[in-house]
Structures are given as structure tokens and as C-alpha cells.
Amino acid sequence: MADLLLGQVLSFRGDPFDSPDAAQVLSQGAVLVDRGRIAEVGEAATLRARHPQARVHDHGRHLISAGFVDAHVHYPQTAIIASWGKRLIDWLNTYTFPEEMRFADPAYAKDIAGRYLDLVLARGTTTVCSYATIHPASVDAIFSAAQARGMRVFAGKTCMDRNAPEGLRDTVLSAYDDSKALLRKWHKVDRLSYVITPRFSPTSTPEQLSALGALWREYPDCLMQTHLSEQLDEIAWVRDLFPQSRDYLDTYETQGLLREGAVYGHAIHLTDREKARLIEAGASLVHCPTSNTFIGSGLFDMGLARSLRVGLATDTGGGSSFSMLRTMAAAYEVAQLRGQSLHPSQLWWLATQGSARALRCEDRIGNIAPGMEADLVVINLASTPAIEQATRRAEDLWQALFPTIMMGDDRAVAEVWVGGNRRGV
């Protein structure tokens, strides 16, 4: 039997960074879900009359949206989120690497993977793109947990053959062989996608980057994810490690790791050449605002969203929240500091269709339209007394939604649907 969700329905018919009319709102709308997909979208009265046998879920004035898409996370860092007092390199050495060593234990990886996905589902996130650790079992854990929950998830084995502890280094050959075996095991199984994943240039030799570039040429329908220009001292380190390279991006480009399907996290301190090449190559960037402020990286230039595919991410656990609502709020604040005022529709787009575009799956998730996979979140626009009193003055949906973006948390998430199935929150 089909399900009919009633409420205010938010969808996108274009990019709000290009057009102010890109977002569409049905104030008394409905979404028909059938066999895991969105079958119809329209006025509530029309769809109720057309489908009298459908199960009705009346959400009143709640907002029905595509589920959030978190385009850059490290699920193995779940347990160390909000750790105090470090910048990027010290963060890795003090918190990240010791925690990732624990993922040599498949039971520990399984526990964290399930915990992480349940935490983000409770906050309305239905898709993530995650780094694992060097351990193949860490990839098995996140994909198995996603499979059990029916989620569309992207992930890959993190590859590092230098500048990491002994227990966290692989080799050129094992990085290639392990990645290929995992790719062949999981890619396109159910709703899962393998992502070729060098951590970043400082922890991979040119030879390892080249091997992963060769693997990507063998499997061009995969994504490739890594980090780019997050902090100034990181960029200086890359310059020392790759003296022959023109810039940070060139360390990837020369090894076959720049083209459509490349997804670069952070990308804060880009040169003009790097920006031009990213645009020319059709690559994607992912903005991680809570991480960028928490570990002192810098302020991302959202003006790049007018010429590049830009997604939004929590960057667990360098980011300080599992919530895409909190991440939207941070993105707004970072843009304000750069003199860029983001409209609520642009923030919501970044957390849904924008991130889906960055992961090149905008034809499947991130929007409400017939034929899309039925990953949905229902948002209570009056979830706390502070938010409720702020919405009373609202003259349109955007004024009603903005307080939830800035002050909302998991209490705002009334319901989550994953692949057409309702989950408790």
C-alpha cells in the first residue's frame, strides 16, 4: 500500500544560487510514496482524492523535505567528536590516529558504524559520504550498517602509506588491492557506492596516489574523495613534500585524481589556478563550516557555489555536530563573516540537492520529485518555545524556517523516511 504524506512540501526546480525562484513550496502539499520511491507530488486535496486507499500521514504545518545529505564525514571519529584544543595536524596525531587504530577490531568498527548512522538518522540525515580507516573491516562495517537500514551511503577505505603511525599505514600495493577488492564487493550493491579514498597528499606518497589514480581509471563510475587546502600550515607541509608540484591541487592532478567525480573536502585556501582547474575539470567541493571554525582552518568562499558543485558537511568528528541543521547555521555565520548573506533556500539546498549534486547522485536523492528515492525528513517548525515564538512573526515559509535553521536540533526532526520506509526518531 502506498503512503501519502501531508504537510508543507519543499522542493527545488533549479539552483537557488542561480535563480531566486528555484525553490517551490506547496503550503498544503502532499507526497505519495510507493515502493521506495516518490510517485507523485501535488496539492493535498488532489492527491487524497486520487489515492483514497493510501495510508495518510497528516503532518499539519510541518515541513516535508528531502532527507539531508552529508557529503564529507569520518564515521570512525564518532567517539572523539568535540575533543578539545587542537588544530589539524595535532588533531590527527592526538585524537584521530589513536582512535582509528581501534578499528583493527571488526567488533569495534561494527559498534561505531551502527551508532553513527543512528545518530545522524535521528537528525534527519539519510545519506552520508564517509571515510573509513585503512582497515577493510571498517568499510565492511559502515556498508553493512547502511544496508541494514536501507540507506544510500558512499564510503571507502582510507589509504595512507606515510606520515602516520605504524598500525595505520598501508602500502602502494595493499592500498590498491584492498580498495579494488572492497569496490568489487560493495559498489552498486543495494544503495551503496564505493569511493576511492586517499586521506590527503601528506599521508600518501606520489606512488600511492598514482596507484589510486590508476584504480579510478579502471572504475570511472566511482567517486574519489580527499582533502584539499584545509589549513595554511598543511599547505606549507604539502609544498615541502611535493616540491615539484605547482600547488596542492597539482599533487592530485598529476596522479590522475582530478576530473568529474572528484570530491574535495574543505578547499578554503585556493589559488586562482586551482579554482580555474577545479571549474574546468567539473570537480566538487564540500564546505565543512563547523569543522573549519572548530579547528581554526578558515572561512570557505561560498561564491564558488556559482561555478562549482558545492556540498555541505558536518565533517564528523573535526566538525562539532552530527546535525545538518547546526551545519547550515554555521554555513550562514561563516558566509556573514565574508560579507555573503545566504538565503534560507540556499542553505537548505546545500544540505539536500547541493550535496547530492556534489556526489553526482542528484537524479536519485536530495529533492522531492516523481521518480526520486523516498528519503524524506519531516521538520517541526515550532519544536521549542524559542523557535515557536520566533515563527509567529513569519510572513512566508523562509521566515518561518530560518529560526529552525539557526536554533534547531534533533527535536525539530518529527519523522524520517529512508527508501520509502518510515523510521522512528
Q: Which domains does the chain have, with CATH numbers?
A: 3-67+367-423 (2.30.40.10), 68-358 (3.20.20.140)
Q: Are strands 192-198 and 158-159 parallel, antiparallel or unpaired?
A: parallel
Report the pLDDT value the prediction gives residue 84, as an integer from 0 to 100. Answer: 82
Distance of CA 406 to the CA centre of its chain: 19
Provide CB contacts within 8 A for 206, sequence distance 6+.
Answer: 242, 251, 254, 255
Q: What is the pLDDT averaged over residues 308-326?
A: 96
Q: What is the pLDDT of residues 76-85, one digit of tens each?
A: 999 999 888 7
Cβ burial, residue 36 (10 Å; 0-12/13-18/19+): middle
Residue 46: band (very low, low, confident or very high) from pLDDT cuts 50, 70, 90: very high
Per-residue pLDDT at 425 exceeds 90? no
Q: What is the mean pLDDT of the chain?
A: 96
Peptide bond into 317 cis (omega under 30): yes
CB atoms within 10 A of CB 214: 12
Dist CA 152 CA 192 (whole Å): 6
Q: Return the C-alpha cell found at 54.
A: 493510501
Maximum Cα–Cα distance across the chain: 68
Provide CB contacts within 8 A for 260, sequence distance 6+.
Answer: 281, 282, 283, 360
The pTM of this model reads 0.97
Dist CA 368 CA 37 (whole Å): 10
Contact 292, 266 (CB under 8 A): yes
Residue 349: band (very low, low, confident or very high) from pLDDT cuts 50, 70, 90: very high
Q: Return the C-alpha cell found at 416.
A: 524520517
Dist CA 218 CA 215 (whole Å): 5
Q: What is the pLDDT of residues 85-104, one digit of tens each?
A: 777 778 788 889 999 999 99
Q: What is the pLDDT averaged over residues 382-409?
A: 96
Q: What is the pLDDT of residues 183-204, one digit of tens each?
A: 999 999 999 999 999 999 999 9
**Residue 326 carries which side chain, given as an amino acid letter?**
R
Report the pLDDT value the prediction gives residue 89, as an integer from 0 to 100. Answer: 76
H or E element at residue 59: strand 55-66
343: nearest Cα among 38, 18, 83:
18
CB atoms within 10 A of CB 337: 9
